[in-house]
Every structure is written in structure tokens, then in C-alpha cells.
Structure 1
Amino acid sequence: MRSRSRSIGLRALLIALAFTLSIAPGLAQQRQPSDPDAQPSGYVIGPEDVLDIAVWNNDKISRAVPVRPDGKISLPLLNDVQAAGLTPVQLRQALTQALTTFVPNPEVSVIVREVHSVKVTVIGQVKLPGRYELKSRATVLDLLAMAGGFTDYAARDSIVVLRQEGATTRRIPFEFDKLTAKSGAKNGGQENFCVAPGDIILVP
């Protein structure tokens, strides 16, 4: 009797295991995507960036889209949607609200696949003047290094960062020698601040 009971129990265990293995792939496919808010939300989307828009269980809307020069993206049902100037979280919220008219309880995620909108220009007395596309945060020193450093005629204490703020252009002095001096930081010298999209670094 004990042997027969063990045989029945083993058979039931094998059947249960086979059933679990048979439905596991289906469960994996039905699993919803991870929380889109888990990605860094501080980045502000700009023109020429490429975004991954995913709507759960809706392949017709989900796609990779570029941000046009006018700051908008094009999606089925919604047509043109403003994306530039928003963070991924803000755009996700806007798309979720807009899609409720067409899709019941839409689950939307927005991921920045490619960054192309952060560009800074370095001009003047540097070895490699030009416009540089940044993939991550960078400082004035980083940009000067990317531009190959100074020429022999550079006025290193007269560098200016031109930053557009609305209709006005702000001039931010950058005194290289104060920053690199050993006592500069202790005496409240020049700070190596981060550049912003659209900045122009002028080295006279």
C-alpha cells in the first residue's frame, strides 16, 4: 500500500510539474513591463532625440519615434504630440491621458533610446572649434578638452559662456587660470560648472 501511495504521489507531482512548465512561457509573455518611472526622470527631451514609446498590449501604437525639429512626435490615433521640453515621466503622463479616449486603461512607458538634442558650441582660440553633441552631463573643462585645448593666443582668463535664457543672452565668465590654480578652490575661485544645451563657449 505504501509503495502504491508513493507511486501515485510521484505521478501527481510529475503531472503538476509538467503543467507548470507548459504554462510558464505564457505567464512570461503576459507579464507587464517594468515600472517606467524607474528610469532617471530628470532628463528633458529635446529635438532629434529618439524615444521608445510602448503601450502595453498594443503593438500598433508602440514604436520608436524621433522628436522632430518642432519638438513633436507622431503617433497613431494621437497624431502630433509635444515631447520637447518634457521629461520622460511627464510625456508618459500626457500620452496616458490622451490615449484614454481610444484605449481603456492604457499602460504607457517612455524611454529615451538616443540622445541627440544636447549640443554645445566651442569657438575662438581652441584647436578644434566646432559643435559638440553630448551624451551625458559635461562641464566647461570637458568641452575645452574635447575642443583640443587652447591655441598659443588664447586669453584663458577671458573665456565666456553664452547661454540663451528666453529672449536674452546671459554672459557667464569662466576664468581658467583661477580654476586650475592650487589655491583657487580655497579662495572661492572659478567653479567648473556644467554646460547647458545650446551653450556657446567663446575663447577669445
Structure 2
Amino acid sequence: MGSRIVLITVGLWAMLLLISCGTSTKSTIQELGQEKVVVEDLSEGKKEAMRLEIIDGLKQGVAHYTLNAGDSLEVMYHIDLVKLKTPYLIGVQDEVNIEFQYHPGLNRTVVVRPDGMVTLPIKGDFEIGGETPRRSAEIIAKGYSDIIRDPVVSVAVNKFSSKIFALQKAITNSPRGQAKQILVSPDGNIYLPLLDGIRAAGKAIDDVEKEIQARYDKDFKNLEVSLLLESIAGRQIFVFGQVRNPGKLKEEHPLTVAQAIAQAGGITNEGTNEHVKVLLISQDNKPVMRTVNVKRVMEEGHLEEDVLLPDNSIVYVPKTDVAKVGQWVDDYIRRILMWNGEQFNIDYQIPNNQ
């Protein structure tokens, strides 16, 4: 029985040697629903662009950083209350004084309702929200023209409770002045006073600042915002498989696949550096599968085959083909021995003839 197992073992290990002499794996890129692209087959210009993208990303560090859930931001508000460049528009909750020359009995001091309306004697509702005081006076005068000959109306704003003052009240606090500290929420959005949620995760801080400014510009003509990155939650990179310290990496700075593997303690003796799998989400939110031959990156300098990892990337280091077959050999022989009632260990070593 023992000699038969030795022969089986020799045959299986011969198979292992044939497998280990196979060709090297090529680095590839494959978007969901698209054909697989071999990096080595790309044009020299494209490969050079890929190399420069990685180099620039590593050099820029945090300046190249894209926001993630948990990042802390500070929004600085600069409100110019000295002089508006455009006429003031009456807002909701503004208190306005409406006077009728020659008809003081119609005079009223009213607060603009949430629907932009005010209610006046006899004629009822007038919509003046969003209008200038002068235009509001014209609207009211026209409404009364059928019961008063040539009505003369004036509108004055007594108390300003419009959006700019509501915003000022919401953002003013003792330690920070006119500023707001916010976190990028788990849903990837940020939430600011008087605005709907704004997508921040996956974007550069300058792009988010421009989006905030554009949103506020719709309602405010005398407001400027500045966005500061206060603290970083960091990118999450998940590395598992045949590495010494599998798990989650938290990094402030960009990492390539080779760097992530190094951070995870390097590849074990059973792992392959020629067939590393990477699952990532591209900038246009599409899943991309990459196969990276880290051996070519490290030994031959093919940097274009490496990948600059975005947040939540997954890196998997598989076993070598030899290790896979070796495990199969181990399981196969153990089953034979158990089936025959034998109980001893096989370590794949063939004893020398004495």
C-alpha cells in the first residue's frame, strides 16, 4: 500500500512541476459588460498615460484625495451685508409696512406668509414674495385700481427675516464664527442649512465647494463659501487571500496594489504575485475587475500594470497553482489512507534509497 501511495505522490508532483512551468499571467482590465483588455497590448501612449496617472496620484498625496464617508469638513460662510449688488427681494417671514396715500384706513403692517402672500382689506391676498418693494407696491396699486382712483401705494420692509438671515442664524456659533462643521454621511452626502443633500463621497474637495456655491447662488447674491478639509477618515482597502495580515487597511494617502499588499504583510509562501485580483469602482461608478501581475510591476518596472486604489477597493491574492494542487494532493492521499484504515502523515517527500 505504501509503495502505491509513493507512486501516486510522484505522479501528482510531476503534474505540479508541469503547472509551475506555465506562462506568466497577463495584467488585464475588465469593466462590467465589456470585453477584457490586456494591459500589455495597449498602445505605448496609453501605457505611458497610465504610468503618469499613478505617479501623479502618489506625488499629490492628500491633494489628490477624494472625500469619503466620515470625513470632517468645515464650511466657511462669507456674507456681505454692506450692500447688495441687486435690488432686495421680499422674502418669507419679512415684515412689511404697506401704506395707501389718502386712504390711511387701508394701511397695514403684515408678515409675508410661507406661500409669499400677504392679506389686505377688501381685496384679500397679494403675492409679493420674491418681488422688490417697488414692484410689490405696483402689484397692490393695480389690485385696488378698480375701487380707488389712481391709488398711490408704498411698501417698506421693517424686519428682514428672509433666507440670508435665517442662514446667518443657523451658521453663527461662538467658537467658529460664521462656519459650519459637517461630516460626510454614510450615504456619501453632506447636508447644509437651506440646501438639499449634496454628493461628496468620491469627489475632490474643490468640486464639492463649487457645487455648494452653485446651490447657494440660486437664492443668495451676497454669499461666498469656502470648504476646508478638517480631518480625514481615510480610504478603506480590503486585502485578503494569501497575505500575512489580511483585513481592512485605513489609509489617508493613495495606495497602489503593490503597496497595499506590502501593508498587509506581503504574500505568503502559498500565494502568487502574478495573478492578483482587484475589484474597484471607477470614477463613473462602474465596477471594474483588474488582474495585476505584481511580479512584472516589481521586477520589470511595468508600473502601468499596477492600480491606484480608490476607496473600498478589494484586493485578493490567490494561491499558486502549485499550492492549489498540493492541497488537492494532500486531501486525495488522506482520503485514500482513511478509506484503507491507515493513519499516518504524508509530507510529499520521497525517501532516498539506502
1:72-130 CA distance string (max 9 Å, x none): 22222325333234332222222223334665421210112222252111010111111
Structure 1 partner of 2:75: 53
Q: Secondary structure at the match of 1:92?
A: helix
Q: 1:1-204, aligned counterparts within 5 Å?
A: 42-56=64-78, 59-60=171-172, 62-78=179-195, 80-100=197-217, 103-116=220-233, 118-165=235-282, 169-181=287-299, 184-185=300-301, 191-204=305-318
Q: Which string of whole-angstrom CA distances, capped at 9 and with x for unpartnered residues, describes residues 128-169 of structure 1?
A: 111112201111121111101121211221211122347864
Pairwise CA distance, 1:194: 1.7
For structure 2, the residue ranges without an aligned partner over 5 or more in a row are 1-61, 80-167, 173-177, 319-354
Larger mean Cα displacement after TM superposition, 106-115 or 74-83: 74-83
Distance 1:50 1:189 in 2: 33
How far apart in 2 are the matches of 1:67 and 1:104? 26
Q: How far apart, CA to CA, are the structure 2 residues paired with 1:163 and 1:122?
A: 12
- Larger relative contact order (CA 8 Å, sep ≥ 6): 2
Gaps of 5+ in 1: 1-39
Kept after mapping to 2: 8 A contact 1:160/1:174: yes
CA contact (8 A) 2:182 2:190 kept: yes
Counterparts in 2 of 1:171 and 1:97: CA distance versus 1, 3 Å? closer
**CA gap 1:156/1:196 in 2 versus in 1, 3 angstroms:** same
Residue type at the aligned position of 2:68: G
Runs of 4+ deviating beyond 6 Å: none
The equivalent residue for 2:146 is: none
Q: Distance in 2 between matches of 1:94 and 1:105?
A: 17
* Distance of 2:197 and 2:310 partners within structure 1: 27
Number of matched pairs:
161
Q: 1:82 to 1:129 in 2, by over 3 A?
A: same
1:76–1:167 CA distance, 2 compared to 1 (3 A): closer
| TM-score, length-scaled by structure 2 | 0.40
Q: Normalization by structure 1: what TM-score?
A: 0.67
The verdict on how the C-alpha distance between 1:46 and 1:105 changes in structure 2, with shifts beyond 3 A counting, is same
Contact 2:273 2:293 in 1 (8 A): yes
8 Å contact from structure 2 (residues 68, 311) kept in 1: no
SS at match of 1:84: coil
What percentage of residue pairs aligned between the two structures are identical?
A: 24
Tell me if the contact between 2:257 and 2:307 (Cα under 8 Å) persists in the aligned partners: yes
Root mean square deviation of aligned Cα: 2.7
CA distance in 1, matches of 2:68, 2:236: 10
Structure 2 CA distance for partners of 1:97 and 1:155, relative to 1, 3 Å? closer
Cα distance in structure 1, aligned partners of 2:304 and 2:202: 30
Q: Which has the higher helix share?
A: 2
Amino acid at match of 2:310: A
- The 1:163–1:101 alpha-carbon spacing in structure 2 relative to 1, beyond 3 Å, is closer
d(CA) in 2 for partners of 1:89, 1:168: 23
C-alpha change, 1:170 and 1:103, in structure 2 (3 Å) is: closer
**CA deviation after TM superposition for structure 1 residue 189, in Å:** 7.7
CA distance in 2 between counterparts of 1:113 and 1:123 reads: 31
Q: Give yes or no for contact 1:41–1:89 (8 Å, CA) kept in 2.
A: no
User: Structure 1 residues 74 and 190 mapped into 2: Cα distance closer, same or farther (>3 Å)?
Assistant: closer
